[in-house]
Structure 1
């Protein structure tokens, strides 16, 4: 039983801080939210989003009307790309400050929400910029209020304290984590996600899967993060194939969205380690690489490395997609092959070579894993020693 492996004398912090409205039609809660923030004195906001999804999903119709109904003025920044950059954050912050905004509303998946969280900090620190923030040149403890309307079921960022933004000229993709960027409110409405492209549906869901495999096996994992991990895998195993076959199935989307939410809460508590630390260099070097695809490519190799250290937990957590694991260190190869086989069944067959990486790239990727700000913290939380040899092995096994 994995319960005996939890160090009960080490105190763990349990975090569940954002109020999230989950369900079909949850977008209508924006009217109540707008009324409340106006009563709090928030009369100007910056709206941060990507280039099109905020309109295509219909979310903007309700957000705009809610703002107009409550006489909340807004300025729109709709230039956030996948793997957002520090320059986009600075541009949005400048726009917000010049407008006099005192709050942030963000509509989108992980990229717009993470960019918006960064903007919310810098609005309180106008003498700083996004490079200062992501190179850890200061430690913020303030941000303006954030309202997040989530459009994907993968990142969990609508309910956690994390954000990720790239510094292109250095091939850095660091993460930050500050209490001040928990969204005040978040909206998780599966009806906004039925138009997600098939590959995006796959990749964002695999992001959630990686969150919990890591959160359940870090050095700071708790029974709470393991519990959430087990339920996340159960829901993904059941509802991802259904969603791929029937994209408009709101029940399936609902449970993938719920799985993503609790996965975000899981890693907000249990943190992350290898898979995210090693994926960030991939999508920093290739900004067009979908984060979830990068994670999928290296996940089997990570499972192979960490399984001997956490066999009981991983056997239990992975049981819906890799049955018949006994929870013994010797079956690490079986567990890794089982994860790879499951990924193939949901249509993810790529390896590093398929997405443009070569053996000669491994040294640079390994360097980035150890030099990118924040990734050293993730590596330090891995259940095994995260030395250069281990990182190179994971990359090489993923080719």
Structure 2
């Protein structure tokens, strides 16, 4: 049905440039990656991680062994937090420059990978800062080679050209997208993901669903982005409950990781709009807010807004989680309430009020959505006109649940 929403005369870009080693045991490919780096004359790396997952998952043992076998030396920046900020990037970039690092290896979820991508840009653009990068004061065309070992099934950053880093002093959480930050190599090993906590499992997978709901409905989407979206929602609906019940189930982790990977490729082609543009102010104001939870709280109201503009596409994409949609624009309320019911069924029951946001905060959030660098570009490709009133309505309707 979604084919009805495609203008066949619009020329779109189809992107997928990273070599991803995917599957149980893929971490062993780090040895081949290090051999290739050495053959290219790259023997000094900066490693960017969070505080502990790189070790707890077992990834670090494989990495350090491969480094030793191939004569690779490194410096290690391990201070990245969820919702990384420009200070992390600047500190890691200085460490890389002082060491003379030639490439960047990130180990972690989207936060570590996005911070690492930003470090890789600064490595090739000395004299610039992360603040300048994320306020678009220069346009990079080069970055140091990027290798990503992904430890979550959510962002898709291991296979696309996007990165997000906050400028905390301004409550800004901008996104960048440059061809130079496609990773050279990435590893997606589901066996490294079995230790994800229940909430991490829940919210990274909800992140993937949001990626494709948005990517399939922008003004610049493509059949490729939509086709991937249909697959992603089906897979998350089927395997997220399994992983929540049995975190060690490798089949569930495999297909959730695959869903997240192709979701990342989907929005690399279709881009994003309301949900991410409106979530970034939430976690810009509250850096401790889990990104996927922020998205979950906004998604039903976004569905209500956009469904009349893309009913055929959304009926197909949402079919596994909201059965019975026919593609009529009149179904916006049903679709929004159905998505909220599904979110609640997988344990995502919080709304904005539960996370401390009040109706008095809405005007500030609206201003940030329109004033944060890069977010205007996302709002500009939303399928409906992204007026301040429309954005205010989405925030307001996200304060409390639709389903009482």
Summarize deviations over 1:201-252 as a string: whole Å, max 9, x none.
0000000000000000000111100100000000001000000001000000
Whether 2:69 is the aligned partner of 1:69: answer yes
Per the alignment, in what secondary structure is the counterpart of residue 123 of structure 1?
helix
Per the alignment, in what secondary structure is the counterpart of residue 308 of structure 1?
coil
Contact 2:4 2:312 in 1 (8 A): no
Shift of 1:4: 2.5
Summarize deviations over 1:145-192 as a string: whole Å, max 9, x none.
000000000000000000000000100000000000000000000000
Whole-Å separation in 2 of the counterparts to 1:308 and 1:394:
15
The residue aligned with 1:121 is: 121
Per the alignment, in what secondary structure is the counterpart of residue 45 of structure 1?
strand
The residue aligned with 1:5 is: 5
TM-score, normalised to structure 2, is: 0.98
Shift of 1:2: 2.3
Whole-Å separation in 2 of the counterparts to 1:315 and 1:216:
11
The residue aligned with 2:211 is: 211
Whole-Å separation in 2 of the counterparts to 1:129 and 1:67:
29
Whether 2:149 is the aligned partner of 1:149: answer yes
Contact 2:46 2:96 in 1 (8 A): yes
Per the alignment, in what secondary structure is the counterpart of residue 186 of structure 2?
strand
The residue aligned with 1:383 is: 383
Summarize deviations over 1:297-335 as a string: whole Å, max 9, x none.
000000000000000000011000000001001110000
- Unmatched 5+ stretches in structure 1: none
Whether 2:194 is the aligned partner of 1:162: answer no
The residue aligned with 1:110 is: 110
The residue aligned with 2:353 is: 353
Superposition RMSD in Å = 0.4
Counterparts in 2 of 1:229-378, with a 5 A limit? 229-378=229-378
Shift of 1:296: 0.1
Per the alignment, in what secondary structure is the counterpart of residue 124 of structure 2?
coil
Per the alignment, in what secondary structure is the counterpart of residue 309 of structure 1?
coil
Whole-Å separation in 2 of the counterparts to 1:90 and 1:31:
29
TM-score, normalised to structure 1, is: 1.00
Shift of 1:3: 1.1
Whole-Å separation in 2 of the counterparts to 1:280 and 1:82:
13
Whole-Å separation in 2 of the counterparts to 1:346 and 1:5:
30
Whole-Å separation in 2 of the counterparts to 1:334 and 1:380:
26
Per the alignment, in what secondary structure is the counterpart of residue 183 of structure 2?
coil
- Unmatched 5+ stretches in structure 2: 400-404
Per the alignment, in what secondary structure is the counterpart of residue 341 of structure 2?
helix
Whole-Å separation in 1 of the counterparts to 2:72 and 2:97:
16
Per the alignment, in what secondary structure is the counterpart of residue 321 of structure 1?
coil
Per the alignment, in what secondary structure is the counterpart of residue 152 of structure 1?
coil
The residue aligned with 2:402 is: none
Per the alignment, in what secondary structure is the counterpart of residue 220 of structure 2?
coil
Summarize deviations over 1:53-75 as a string: whole Å, max 9, x none.
00000000000110111001100
Shift of 1:5: 1.9
Whole-Å separation in 2 of the counterparts to 1:59 and 1:391:
41
Whole-Å separation in 1 of the counterparts to 2:267 and 2:4:
21
The residue aligned with 1:27 is: 27
Whole-Å separation in 1 of the counterparts to 2:108 and 2:364:
32
The residue aligned with 2:132 is: 132
Summarize deviations over 1:235-272 as a string: whole Å, max 9, x none.
00100000000100000000000000000000000000
The residue aligned with 2:81 is: 81
Whole-Å separation in 1 of the counterparts to 2:2 and 2:187:
34
Counterparts in 2 of 1:181-196, with a 5 A limit? 181-196=181-196
Whole-Å separation in 2 of the counterparts to 1:89 and 1:155:
19
Count of aligned pairs: 399
Whole-Å separation in 2 of the counterparts to 1:2 and 1:391:
26
Shift of 1:193: 0.4
Per the alignment, in what secondary structure is the counterpart of residue 238 of structure 1?
helix
Whole-Å separation in 1 of the counterparts to 2:340 and 2:140:
40
Per the alignment, in what secondary structure is the counterpart of residue 126 of structure 1?
coil
Whole-Å separation in 2 of the counterparts to 1:331 and 1:132:
44
Per the alignment, in what secondary structure is the counterpart of residue 289 of structure 1?
coil
